[in-house]
Amino acid sequence: MKISMKFVAASVAAQIITCASLWLTAILFSSDSLFNIIVYFYWPCIILVAWFLGTRGESAMIAVPIYGMALGMIFYSVILAVVLSFLKKKRD
């Protein structure tokens, strides 16, 4: 099945905008629960990156969540693109 790159790009853009708006809102209202929403959504990819890199200590506090969230954005975008491509193919 051919995956449409426009679906991947749109999904990545939507996730970046959503994460940025949640971060800004969390900073504005000093709410840790909004940060937790972002972390829990990307948690499987963060754990995968931590396991793959084998990080411990302070390096795991910053690098792993950033790389995990980036991997999660790409991973979830490809999954969404596959689903949307499948639905578009069925519709045509």
39-57 per-position pLDDT tens digit = 888 899 999 999 998 888 7
68-83 per-position pLDDT tens digit = 999 999 999 988 888 8
Predicted TM-score of the model (pTM): 0.77
**Other C-beta atoms lying within 10 Å of the C-beta of residue 90:** 7
Domain ranges of the chain: 5-91
